[in-house]
Amino acid sequence: MRTVWTCSRLPRHIHQTLSLRDRGLLPGRVIIVGDVHGCNEQLGALLKQVEYARGVDNLVFVGDLVNKGPGNVQVLDTFLSCPGARAVRGNHDDAVLRRYYAWRDGREELKGQHEWIATLEERHVAALESLPFTLSLPDYGALVVHAGLVPGIELGQQDPWAMYKMRNVVGAKAGTAAFDTATSTGGSDGAGNPRDGALKTTAERGTGGAIGFTTAASREQQQQQQQQPLVPLEDIDGGGEAWAFVWGGPQHVFFGHDARRRLQLHPAATGLDTGCVYGGHLTAAVLPPLASLRPGGLPARLTVRGGGGVGGGDGDGGAGGRVVCREDLKVALVSVPGWVAAAGASL
């Protein structure tokens, strides 16, 4: 069960595209940044670490730019100062808009950790209002969303609530040890910190039943699940399985929102919320310039129509009709240490 959901204000475009066709894609790399949560110092350190080139590289955020951290307005300033930067809407971005509207209209006072919202300028509010729920990168066969997508449902039919709140799907049954392993925390230790090597690419991690690899058993599970209706769920402890494990492409999805699981390396999805605001890390997935991928065998244009989902694609998307994986995209994962607060933020 979930509470009745109301969005603060739907953006003009719920789904947006960044591509060569619309001339929005810059010639450099695509740098996809995990949940920043107002940690501007860490964002600056990450952009320095990846050697971000303004006006050349494409900078994309998975949402939750603001809230909980110490430099929310500064993060928005950084975002607005980066030419062509894009972001999708996170649940915390939307929560800030709701509180801002209530304060502006005299219906609510801003207290404690929310007092900073009163310092927002019109340009900051406009930026948050414009954030779409998804950003498609068809030339890469990839898509960015804050929380997730329900497998088997076309993109235009996805529930906005699910796209920025879900973590699990219910309606699927776990039946093998490999399936249970793949839906575990995988990338973190018992204290919630990334394990040694957790931020390496799948090629560096090797093979086996760990998260990020499709075993014969997990493929069988996915085939069974695609025949069952799946329902999005926010609470990890409320049942079901991680939606990203069930997701079968064809496009590769980059997402955030799930700090408890930290880094997630699934065959067709990469989770980038590594708990920056909770003392973890701020992580980015770096994709090389499109031109450098084509000699490696990818089609000249990876066009994925609709939502894809498990068995929900139209067959012409992805690399040669199969799932687009991190190896296809030559993804490099880069991270910097997160924010350590005196009292600490809570999940």
Task: Determine contact, residues 87/63, Cβ cutoff 8 Å.
Answer: yes
- Amino acid sitting at position 200: K
pLDDT at residue 323 in the model: 85
User: Is 50 exceeded by the pLDDT of residue 188?
Assistant: no
- 265-290 pLDDT tens trace: 999 999 999 999 999 999 999 999 99
User: Is 70 exceeded by the pLDDT of residue 208?
Assistant: no
- 81-92 pLDDT tens trace: 999 999 999 999
Average pLDDT over residues 207-220: 34
- Which of these, 140, 134, 130, 133, lies nearest to 19 by C-alpha position? 140
Q: Which residue has the higher pLDDT, 258 or 340?
A: 258
For the chain, what is the mean pLDDT? 79
- For residue 175, count other CB atoms closer than 10 A to its CB: 12
pLDDT at residue 15 in the model: 96
User: Is 70 exceeded by the pLDDT of residue 80?
Assistant: yes
pLDDT-derived band at 7 (thresholds 50, 70, 90) equals: low
- Which of these, 203, 187, 210, 191, lies nearest to 283 by C-alpha position? 187
User: Is 50 exceeded by the pLDDT of residue 57?
Assistant: yes
pLDDT at residue 10 in the model: 83
Beta bridge partners of 145: 134
Least confident of 62-71, 117-126, 213-222, 254-263: 213-222
- 95-152 pLDDT tens trace: 999 999 999 999 999 999 999 999 999 999 999 999 999 999 999 999 999 999 999 9
pLDDT-derived band at 237 (thresholds 50, 70, 90) equals: confident
The separation between CA 329 and the C-alpha centre of its own chain, rounded to angstroms, equals: 16
pLDDT at residue 130 in the model: 96
